[in-house]
C-alpha cells in the first residue's frame, strides 16, 4: 500500500476521525460519571468481565465442535444481554440509551472519515459494433434457477441470439461449446450463470477478440456487480443486445486458466475444496474451521508478490484488480477493472486472537496488501487446493497468477445501475492513523501500464 503524508490528509477527514473518538469516549464516560466513584469501579469491572467472557466465548466457538461450540455461542449472546440488564438494575437506563446514541454518532463520523475521496472515475465506454451471431451459454441451475425464473432463454432468442442450455444430466464441456460456436461464426459470446462459467467463456472471447456479454444469473455475481449491472434482474443485461457499449477490462490468469474475480489459497481454498461446500457453505466452514485455525490441515505456503515474499501465510487472496483496502476476503467490490494489476492479500495470524483482530480491522499485524503484476504461490507439496472464482480446483505448484490488461471487451447496457458507492468498513487501524498518526496507509490505485492499449474493436457492420 502507498503512504499518504499526514499533512496531505484533508483536514475534514482528520476532524471526522477525531470526532468519532470523542463520541466513543463520551459514550463510555456517560454511565461512569452517573454511577459515582464506587459505582464506576464496579461498572468498569462488570463491563470488562462481560467483554472478556464474550471474547473467550467467540474463541471457543471458533475452535470447538458439538455441544461445546453451541454452549460457547449461547454464552457469547448472553453476556451482552446480562450486561444490559445489570445497567438497567443500576438505574442507568437513560445513560445506556445515550451511550448507544453516542456510539451511533461515532460510527457515522468514522465512516465519514474513512470514505475515500475521488475513489476512481467510471471506466471509459467504447462504441460497440453491431453483431450478427450472438451465442449465449445459460445454466438453468445457477443462482437458484434465475434462467427459468426470468425466462431468459426466450427473451434472448427473440433478440436473435443462439442459446445453449446446460441442462444435461452430466457435466457439459462449456469450453468446447463456446469454441464450436466461434468456428461457426459467432461474433459475440455470453454467459448466464456463475462467475466460474463466466470466466471460462470470457477467456475464449478475449482469445478471439470478441465482445462478451455478462448476464447476472449466478448466485453472487461479483463480476456483474463490479461492471455496474443489475444483479437482481438479469433481464436488464439483455438490453445490451439492443443498445450496448463496451468496457475494456482486465483478465486474471492462474496457471493459464482465466479468472475474473479472484483466486484463493490456504484456509478459504481448503473450505471450498470440501464436497459439502456447495450444498451447505456455512455448515462446511464451521465444521472445518477448528482444524484450520489450529493448523491441523493445509500445506505451508509461500507467496511472492513481485519482489516481496511472505513465508507461511494461512490465507492468500489474489484478485483481478485490487479490492478495497478493508476487504480481506474478496467479498466486496473493485472500483475499477482496468487498472492492469492484480490485488494481493496475505494473512499470517499467529493465533485466533490475531485472526479476530484482523477481521475486526483492529490491527495490521500479520496482514500484507499489495498491487502486483505477478503473484506466485508455492508450497511444500506438489499440488494445493485453489478456489478460482468460487470453483474448487487442485493446481500444481508453483501457482503463477498474472494479469492481461484490458484484454476483455465486455458488452453492457448503455443504461444500467452502475457501480454502487462503496461503504467503508470500520477499519480501526486506519481510523487511528487518520486521527492521530503521522502517515496514513492508503489503498493502491495504480493505473494500467501505458503499453497496455485496449484491444481494437472490429469495424461495425451488419445489424441485428
Q: What is the pLDDT of residues 2-45, one digit of tens each?
A: 444 444 557 888 889 899 889 988 888 887 777 665 566 777 77
How many C-alpha atoms does 247 have within 13 Å on its Cβ side? Answer: 25
- Grid cell locating 416: 444500467
Percentage of the residues of the chain whose pLDDT score is greater than 90: 36
CA 53 to chain centre: 31
Residue 248 pairs with which residues in a beta bridge?
A: 409
- Contact between 248 and 227 (Cβ < 8 Å): no
107-111 average pLDDT score:
88
In this prediction, residue 434 carries a pLDDT of: 83
Evaluate if residue 279 carries a pLDDT over 80. Answer: no
- Contact between 2 and 446 (Cβ < 8 Å): no
DSSP alpha helix (H) spans, 295-427: 352-359
Selected residue with higher pLDDT from 267 and 438: 267
In this prediction, residue 418 carries a pLDDT of: 78
In this prediction, residue 37 carries a pLDDT of: 57
Evaluate if residue 287 carries a pLDDT over 80. Answer: no
Evaluate if residue 282 carries a pLDDT over 70. Answer: no
Cα 285 to Cα 67, 264, 276, 281: the distances in Å are: 17, 15, 10, 6
Q: What is the pLDDT of residues 192-222, one digit of tens each?
A: 988 889 999 999 999 999 999 999 998 778 8
Domain spans, the chain: 2-114, 124-421
121-138 average pLDDT score:
91
292-303 average pLDDT score:
70
345-358 average pLDDT score:
65
Selected residue with higher pLDDT from 92 and 310: 310
DSSP classification of residue 453: P
In this prediction, residue 180 carries a pLDDT of: 96
251-260 average pLDDT score:
94
Q: What is the pLDDT of residues 440-453, one digit of tens each?
A: 444 444 444 443 44
| Rounded distance between C-alpha atoms, residue 93 and residue 65, angstroms | 37
DSSP alpha helix (H) spans, 8-90: 11-63, 66-89
Of 385, 368, 378, the residue nearest 303 (C-alpha): 378
Q: Which pLDDT band holds residue 245 (cuts at 50, 70, 90)?
A: very high
Cα 44 to Cα 91, 156, 241, 305: the distances in Å are: 16, 64, 64, 46
Selected residue with higher pLDDT from 230 and 32: 230
Q: What is the pLDDT of residues 387-417, one digit of tens each?
A: 898 788 899 999 999 999 999 999 999 988 8
Cα 13 to Cα 74, 115, 132, 420, 427: the distances in Å are: 39, 9, 52, 22, 14
Q: Which pLDDT band holds residue 129 (cuts at 50, 70, 90)?
A: very high
In this prediction, residue 462 carries a pLDDT of: 37
Selected residue with higher pLDDT from 133 and 294: 133
In this prediction, residue 451 carries a pLDDT of: 39
Selected residue with higher pLDDT from 438 and 332: 332
Of 250, 228, 259, 450, the residue nearest 339 (C-alpha): 250
In this prediction, residue 258 carries a pLDDT of: 95
Q: Tell me which fold the domain 124-421 belongs to.
A: Tumour Suppressor Smad4 (2.60.200)
Evaluate if residue 139 carries a pLDDT over 70. Answer: yes
Going by C-beta distance under 8 Å and a sequence separation of 6 or more, which residues neighbour residue 209? Answer: 409, 455, 456, 458
374-379 average pLDDT score:
95
Selected residue with higher pLDDT from 339 and 358: 339
Indicate the helix (H) or strand (E) that contains 281.
Answer: helix 281-294
Evaluate if residue 132 carries a pLDDT over 90. Answer: yes
Classify strands 188-192 and 211-215 as parallel, antiparallel or unpaired: parallel
- The sign of the dihedral angle between the CA atoms of 286, 291, 292, 298 is negative
Q: For residue 364, which phi and psi values (nearest 5 degrees)?
A: -105, -5
> Counting every residue, how long is the chain?
464
Classify strands 257-259 and 244-254 as parallel, antiparallel or unpaired: antiparallel
- Contact between 443 and 28 (Cβ < 8 Å): no
Selected residue with higher pLDDT from 250 and 422: 250
Going by C-beta distance under 8 Å and a sequence separation of 6 or more, which residues neighbour residue 253? Answer: 259, 401, 402, 403, 404
Amino acid at each position: 500500500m502507498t503512504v499518504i503524508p499526514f499533512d496531505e490528509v484533508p483536514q475534514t477527514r482528520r476532524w471526522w476521525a477525531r470526532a468519532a473518538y470523542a463520541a466513543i469516549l463520551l459514550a463510555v464516560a456517560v454511565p461512569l460519571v452517573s454511577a459515582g466513584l464506587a459505582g464506576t469501579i464496579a461498572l468498569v469491572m462488570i463491563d470488562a468481565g462481560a467483554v472478556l467472557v464474550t471474547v473467550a466465548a467467540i474463541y471457543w466457538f471458533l475452535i470447538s465442535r458439538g455441544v461445546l461450540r453451541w454452549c460457547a455461542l449461547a454464552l457469547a449472546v448472553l453476556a451482552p444481554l446480562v450486561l444490559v440488564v445489570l445497567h438497567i438494575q443500576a438505574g442507568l437506563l437513560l445513560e445506556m440509551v445515550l451511550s448507544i446514541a453516542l456510539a451511533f454518532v461515532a460510527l457515522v463520523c468514522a465512516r465519514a472519515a474513512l470514505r475515500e475521496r475521488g475513489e476512481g472515475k467510471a471506466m471509459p465506454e467504447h462504441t460497440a459494433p453491431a453483431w450478427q451471431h450472438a451465442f449465449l451459454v445459460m445454466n438453468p441451475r445457477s443462482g437458484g434457477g434465475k434462467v427459468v425464473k426470468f425466462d431468459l432463454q426466450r427473451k434472448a432468442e427473440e433478440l436473435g441470439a443462439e442459446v445453449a442450455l446446460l441442462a444435461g444430466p452430466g457435466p457439459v464441456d462449456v469450453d468446447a461449446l463456446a469454441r464450436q460456436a466461434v468456428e461457426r461464426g459467432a461474433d459475440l459470446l455470453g454467459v448466464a450463470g456463475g462467475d466460474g462459467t463466466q470466466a471460462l467463456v470470457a477467456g475464449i472471447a478475449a482469445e478471439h477478440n470478441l465482445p462478451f456479454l455478462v448476464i447476472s444469473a449466478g448466485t453472487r455475481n461479483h463480476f456483474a456487480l463490479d461492471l455496474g449491472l443489475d444483479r437482481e434482474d438479469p433481464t436488464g443485461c439483455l438490453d445490451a443486445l439492443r443498445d450496448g457499449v463496451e468496457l475494456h477490462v482486465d483478465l486474471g490468469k492462474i496457471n493459464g486458466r482465466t479468472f475474473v474475480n479472484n483466486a484463493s489459497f490456504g484456509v478459504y481454498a481448503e473450505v471450498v475444496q470440501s464436497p459439502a461446500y456447495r450444498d451447505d457453505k456455512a455448515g462446511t466452514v464451521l465444521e472445518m474451521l477448528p482444524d484450520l485455525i489450529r493448523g491441523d490441515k493445509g500445506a505451508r505456503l509461500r507467496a511472492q508478490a513481485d519482489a516481496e515474499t511472505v513465508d507461511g501465510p494461512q490465507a492468500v487472496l489474489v484478485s483481478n484488480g485490487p479490492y478495497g483496502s478493508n476487504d480481506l476476503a474478496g467479498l466486496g467490490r473493485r472500483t475499477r477493472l482496468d487498472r492492469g494489476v492484480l490485488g494481493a492479500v496475505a494473512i499470517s495470524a499467529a493465533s485466533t486472537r490475531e485472526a479476530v483482530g484482523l477481521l475486526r480491522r483492529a490491527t495490521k499485524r500479520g496482514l500484507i496488501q499489495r498491487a502486483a503484476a505477478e503473484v506466485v504461490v508455492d508450497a511444500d507439496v506438489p499440488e494445493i487446493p485453489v478456489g478460482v472464482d468460487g470453483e474448487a480446483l487442485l493446481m500444481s505448484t508453483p501457482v503463477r497468477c498474472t494479469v492481461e490488461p484490458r484484454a476483455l471487451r465486455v458488452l453492457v447496457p448503455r443504461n444500467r445501475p452502475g457501480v454502487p458507492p462503496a461503504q467503508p468498513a470500520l477499519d480501526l487501524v486506519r481510523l487511528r492513523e487518520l486521527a492521530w498518526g503521522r502517515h496514513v496507509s492508503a489503498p493502491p490505485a495504480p493505473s494500467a501500464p501505458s503499453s497496455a492499449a485496449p484491444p481494437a474493436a472490429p469495424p461495425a457492420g451488419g445489424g441485428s
